[in-house]
Each structure stands twice: as structure tokens, then as C-alpha cells.
């Protein structure tokens, strides 16, 4: 499933309901825009910020694909999930969200 406006609600709902999901996004919408995405599944945790720091990210992240993905990644992190990344063809990055077992 591609990370775009049409699929955003389904992806966000899966993450909100703590369901594992895989999707892909253009490399330009990820933290790997100016670098190379990993060849194998690799975690890339967000920086550790105080609560007010995360609030600032939400205020300034924007509503484009990159901002929406950044906010979703932070929400997953704050809810205890993990986000993994892997390079795929055509300048895209596969993204996998996992949750700890109960």
C-alpha cells in the first residue's frame, strides 16, 4: 500500500489500533531523502525529545506527505510501536510497523 492521501486514513487507523502494517513511501517523504535507505529492514527511532519537543514537531511538521509521515512515526513511537525501513526500487522506501506482544 502506498503512503498517500488516499491510503493515509487506512494506514493511520491500523497504527492507531496497534496492528502491524507494511506500506511504502517515496524516499523524498522519509528521513532518507538525502541519504541511502538501508538494504535490510532496519529500525530508525525518532530522536528522544521531552514532551514539549514532540509538540513542536507536530506544530512545524506540515501537512504534506513528509510532515504526515513524520507525525505518524512519532505517534507510533510514543505508543510503543517500532518502525522499520528498507530500500525498494524506484526511489521508494518500504515501511513496516510492529507492536510489542501483550
- Residue 25 structural domain: 5-98
pLDDT tens across the length of the chain (102 residues): 999 999 999 999 999 999 999 999 999 999 888 888 999 999 876 666 777 777 888 788 888 998 999 899 989 988 999 999 999 988 999 999 999 985
pLDDT for the residue 56:
83
The tally of domains found in the chain comes to: 1
Q: In the beta sheet, which residues pair with residue 42?
A: 85
pTM for this entry: 0.86
pLDDT for the residue 27:
94
pLDDT for the residue 52:
78
Amino acid at each position: 500500500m502506498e503512503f498517500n492521501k488516499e491510503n493515509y486514513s487506512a494506514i493511520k487507523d491500523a497504527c492507531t489500533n496497534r496492528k502491524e502494517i507494511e506500506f511504502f513511501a517515496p524516499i523524498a517523504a522519509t528521513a532518507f531523502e538525502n541519504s541511502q535507505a538501508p538494504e535490510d529492514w532496519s529500525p530508525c527511532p525518532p530522536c528522544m525529545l521531552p514532551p514539549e519537543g514532540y509538540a513542536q514537531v507536530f506544530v512545524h511538521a506540515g501537512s504534506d506527505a513528509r510532515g504526515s509521515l513524520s507525525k505518524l512515526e512519532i505517534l507510533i513511537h510514543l505508543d510503543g510501536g517500532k518502525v522499520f525501513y528498507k530500500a525498494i526500487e524506484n526511489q521508494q522506501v518500504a515501511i513496516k510497523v510492529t507492536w510489542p506482544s501483550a
